[in-house]
Structure 1
Amino acid sequence: MGSSGATVGALLVEGDVIAAVGDAALASAAEHADTVEVDLGGGFLMPSFGDGHAHPLLGGLEFVGPAVRPCSSVEEIVAEVRKYAEANPDEEWIVGASYDGSLAEGGLFDARWLDEAVPDRPVALRAWDYHTMWVNSVALERAGITADTPDPVLGEIPHRADGSVLGTLREWGAVDLVTAVVPPRDEDTRIAALGTAADYYLARGVTWVQDAWVEPGDVDTYLEAARRGALRIRFNLAQYADPRHFDSQLDGFAEAHRRVDELGSPFLTANTVKFFADGVVENETGALLAPYCSGLHEHGMRVWEGDSLAQAAARVDALGLQIHIHAIGDAAVRQALDAIEHAIESNGPRDRRPVIAHVQLVDDADLARFANLGVIPCMQPLWAQMDALMTVLTIPRLGVERADRQYRMRTLADSGAPLALGSDWPVSSGAPLDGIAIGVSRRTPEGEPEGGWTPEEILGIERALTAYTAGVAEQAFAERTWGRLEVGASADLLWLERDPRHVPPHELPTVRVLGTYVRGELAYSP
């Protein structure tokens, strides 16, 4: 598939770049006796995918702890934790991710359930959303969390009816109380986790990933991995901006960017800063213009109060770094757009390509602002389906009418907004074809509902493929480097067994990856 979407018969790679396409590739190859020919065998060659928003280090580390992600009940999770603890008697903490938050009513999990599996060591499990943690009683004790502990800033500690601490911690203000006392993984384990993440992505045709939440220690891990030659795909780092101590972070953002830039690795950049504008709907911490249906948290949680997000965004923008804002609710999306508009007004015109990730709800009045401000909506097509998460947790909180205005990908793309796609892996599958299958059908893997949920938002397959390739390359400031099959572009390529443009949506996840190339080298083959 060429850069225009047209299909061509041949592509020539010299070194690590595309030298010719179509008839010109055939003619040039014929002039060189040492040309190595790869027969696609009826398959399909296209630009490799990028992932515009993910957490690869966290995803890789999931494979280190108990395998709770596949579990379909609380009992299965508890059994898996018990099995892992018995197999690892010397581990001081049992740490894992990421369980399905819809398996307990209201997403509330009890510490006593984990106590049955491991009563004598602390257990800490991240939920699928990474905004929530489930811990056992020993972990609560180690963290000093008691019935008298007040809810921290940017966090919530749910209690049982008798006032005792339940064991579920919501949002990072509460989660941080536990992570602060969890021993860190050693550096070799963390670097190996990046290798695991690379293996995962290459097998799914992805060669560039936006790590959307990077702490200072993570920057060190990436730098050491790059020095060791352990990075096998491209990563861009988004350093996490914390409103609780933002002023002290600014110099660190610039210094980390400088350190990564000076290293000069073709696989590592640190051009971005990540803000959270809110939490998630499922915790009722996503910031909404109108109250939640339950009213438990009313309008949700704003991470940055007043105009503080706008002021912080302007300061990051002044450093020449890219703004990347998590915004789930419509109030958060509006606050994020306001912040970006303020940065533009404060610092003047430049090629900044600000990103708002997720954009689960956007008010009609704000739709045109994405294109007008040059804001990239980086959205997760896999979430636009009527699965258990949607029906059990999301819709009861939003109500049907408001829920039907979620994930307006086609509307935003039609407005002229430069749509990019991502997975948020390990929150959800990091396979682009899994997400595209939903984005082009708005149906579950089981085919529900007939005709698609909110079918007016169905993306065309060409548009979806472009948003997951060239769209992400534009987000990465890399449209002249990768994301297209054109002369001079890096040979970051994906070889599929079939042309996905002619595959029924429900079959897209079954299309096999036959090869993934990075800079002209075969990095994955089955």
Structure 2
Amino acid sequence: MTTTIYTNATVFTADTDGTTTGAFAVTDGKFSAVGSVERVREVVGKTVTEVDLRGRFIAPGIIDSHTHLASFGTALGKAQLRDCQTLGEIQDRLLQWLDQNPGAPRVLGGGWLFDSVGDTHPTAAMLDEVLPDIPVYLDANDLHSTWVNSAALREAGIDRDTPNPVGGEIARNAAGEATGLLYETAGRKYARDFLERISTPQDHVQALELAFDAYLRSGVTSVTDMALTEAEITALRTILARDGRLPFPITGHVLMVAQPDLDENEAQVSRTVDLRDELSTSGEDRWFRIAGVKFIMDGVIDAKTATMCCPYADGTNADPIWDAERMKPVAATADAAGLQIAMHAIGDRTSEIAIEVLEHCAAENRSDIRSRRHRVEHLETVTDDTIRRMAELGTVASMQPVHSDPAIMENWKAVLGDERQERGFPWHKFRDAGIPMTLGTDAPTAPHEALPNLYIALTGGSSLSPSLPPYHPERAFTPAEALTALTAGGAYAGHMDSTGQIRPGFQANFIELDVNPLEVDPREILEAEVVATYVLGERTHTSTTDKN
């Protein structure tokens, strides 16, 4: 048995009282004592090692409670378009990427914003101007639309007769020809699924390895992957079989693809149950556990594909991908099987439907709905009545501060066009209602780094353009609230009941920071560094500036 005592630190434990202490001990990958250095020495007794942390700030490891691990890793190798403000900048960035990747069979990019091409939506012709012959696939910043050129339309087999899938749309002109924008499930079916099919198993493994490395450098020690596909599950199990472990534990939700037939939808639930049980029987769930299913119920506000109680500024609205009638029996089956239900709901009408679904599950199964910790993801717009009903059901609010970065909100506000543009992201109302909260990033739809996410949670400001005025800073979190939501909140939301806090018996996942977020001006957090990351007591990342 090996024990190490860590001393001379400000240790934020993420306990409910928000207090700090000065020392802790780790024994065989778990915290064995926490408190004053005298108390820790007394509890532990004889030790092998004692480490002086030189006054550093220590917190539980960050849990990114909503991410897309393989997509994030893949995105790291694509042309990065989030900072492009004009079509010309996008075109130049794509040409630069192709120059840096000679011989690439396709140009891949991600992160583009709708307002970067002006008042009109993107078209294939815009890309054909500079890349007419090589297929181009560009994920929107929110991953809910895919912009392609004419060569990609041909490669993916999209023509005037290609049908729209359930919950998706192929943008077309008056003549019925595809114009180059694939909304929602059309982007998944005809672009992302196509690219996944032509990828090799090793491509998926390499993407995951890139994501793991980036997250460890950011202080993340566990994630909830929110839309797992069969290929991604296979890649995770491949790494686990090869190495006997993963770089950090993962909880996953299997993506539910909306089908017109109830039996097809319920078959997806059955497959998820089989996967969950298989991982449990094999012991793989120590590192990779299937917790539940993920329903993408609507789209996003920027593309006007989120379902709203009232129409957008131009008078349009969108139908949900999963309406109540289609979803209720499927969700009830998942709930009865003990699966956690996670629901992407951005529009205020969609979050109403999500709560209707959970109320149906509670009535149908007569289950302890609170113990399930079912989740609603994003909640960018939400009614007060929905918040009240969430509190009654014990539903987890899973939100991403990086989605409210003022640098990406101009189009978001414009398409709403009325007082709703100032009512978004009502974090304070969830806190006041006592709703369990967790904060993630939804990478790669937003930057994955934990500290910029924390900065936005504390200020409502922009980590991308810090000079911009904040978006309703009165709704922001206190440092203790935000850190708890990033750590213990993620553990609660993910049923990770032995991590997320610095507490005896819990997994020794923790980070060292070179600033104290509880005390410094939040602007210093943007320049702060994760000095070290520890998973099960093992240092898995050390910054280049740390000489300890």
What TM-score range do you get, normalising by the shorter chain? Answer: over 0.9
* CA–CA separation in structure 2 for the residues paired with 1:106 and 1:228: 50
Q: Does residue 489 of the first structure (1) align with residue 506 of the second (2)?
A: yes
**Aligned counterpart, 1:371:** 391
CA shift at 1:218, angstroms? 1.7
Do the aligned residues in 1 keep the contact of 2:64 with 2:439 (CA within 8 Å)?
yes
TM-score of the superposed pair, with normalisation by structure 2 = 0.89
Q: Structure 1 506/300 Cα, relative in aligned 2: closer, same or farther at 3 Å?
A: farther
Do the aligned residues in 2 keep the contact of 1:288 with 1:300 (CA within 8 Å)?
yes
**Aligned pairs (5 A) from 1:148-159:** 149=162, 151-159=164-172
Structure with greater strand percent: 2
Segment of structure 1 superposing worse, 157-166 or 247-256 = 157-166
CA shift at 1:476, angstroms? 1.4
Do the aligned residues in 2 keep the contact of 1:211 with 1:238 (CA within 8 Å)?
yes
**Aligned pairs (5 A) from 1:233-244:** 233-244=248-259
**Aligned pairs (5 A) from 1:16-165:** 16-23=29-36, 26-28=40-42, 31-32=45-46, 34-35=48-49, 37-106=50-119, 108-147=121-160, 149=162, 151-160=164-173, 164-165=177-178
Equivalent of 1:225, from 239, 258, 280?
A: 239
* CA–CA separation in structure 2 for the residues paired with 1:169 and 1:243: 17
Q: Secondary structure at the match of 2:420?
A: helix
**Aligned counterpart, 1:390:** 409
Runs of 5+ in structure 1 lacking a partner? none
CA shift at 1:92, angstroms? 3.2
Q: Structure 1 376/414 Cα, relative in aligned 2: closer, same or farther at 3 Å?
A: same
**Aligned counterpart, 1:311:** 329
CA shift at 1:268, angstroms? 0.8
**What amino acid sits opposite 1:205 in the alignment?**
G
* CA–CA separation in structure 1 for the residues paired with 2:165 and 2:341: 27
**Aligned counterpart, 2:532:** 515
**Aligned pairs (5 A) from 1:163-182:** 164-182=177-195
Do the aligned residues in 2 keep the contact of 1:120 with 1:138 (CA within 8 Å)?
yes
Equivalent of 2:205, from 191, 198, 202?
A: 191
CA shift at 1:82, angstroms? 2.8
* CA–CA separation in structure 2 for the residues paired with 1:73 and 1:39: 51
Runs of 5+ in structure 2 lacking a partner? 1-11, 544-548
**Aligned counterpart, 1:263:** 282
Segment of structure 1 superposing worse, 502-511 or 375-384 = 502-511
Q: Structure 1 352/175 Cα, relative in aligned 2: closer, same or farther at 3 Å?
A: closer
CA shift at 1:394, angstroms? 1.1
**Aligned pairs (5 A) from 1:433-472:** 433-445=451-463, 446=465, 452-472=470-490
Q: Secondary structure at the match of 2:533?
A: strand
Do the aligned residues in 1 keep the contact of 2:352 with 2:386 (CA within 8 Å)?
yes
* CA–CA separation in structure 2 for the residues paired with 1:470 and 1:347: 29
* CA–CA separation in structure 1 for the residues paired with 2:311 and 2:44: 67
RMSD: 2.2
Q: Secondary structure at the match of 1:323?
A: strand
CA shift at 1:434, angstroms? 1.1
CA shift at 1:33, angstroms? 5.2
Do the aligned residues in 2 keep the contact of 1:310 with 1:342 (CA within 8 Å)?
yes
**Aligned counterpart, 2:344:** 326
Do the aligned residues in 1 keep the contact of 2:300 with 2:306 (CA within 8 Å)?
yes
Equivalent of 1:293, from 308, 313, 319?
A: 313
**What amino acid sits opposite 1:288 in the alignment?**
M
Percentage of identical aligned residues: 30
**What amino acid sits opposite 2:278 in the alignment?**
R
The number of aligned residues is 519
**What amino acid sits opposite 2:277 in the alignment?**
R
Deviations 1:467-497 (A, max 9, x none): 1111111011123x11111111110001111
Q: Structure 1 45/184 Cα, relative in aligned 2: closer, same or farther at 3 Å?
A: same
* CA–CA separation in structure 2 for the residues paired with 1:226 and 1:334: 39
* CA–CA separation in structure 1 for the residues paired with 2:240 and 2:451: 28
Q: Does residue 254 of the first structure (1) align with residue 273 of the second (2)?
A: yes
Segment of structure 1 superposing worse, 500-509 or 9-18 = 500-509
**What amino acid sits opposite 2:235 in the alignment?**
T
CA shift at 1:101, angstroms? 3.1
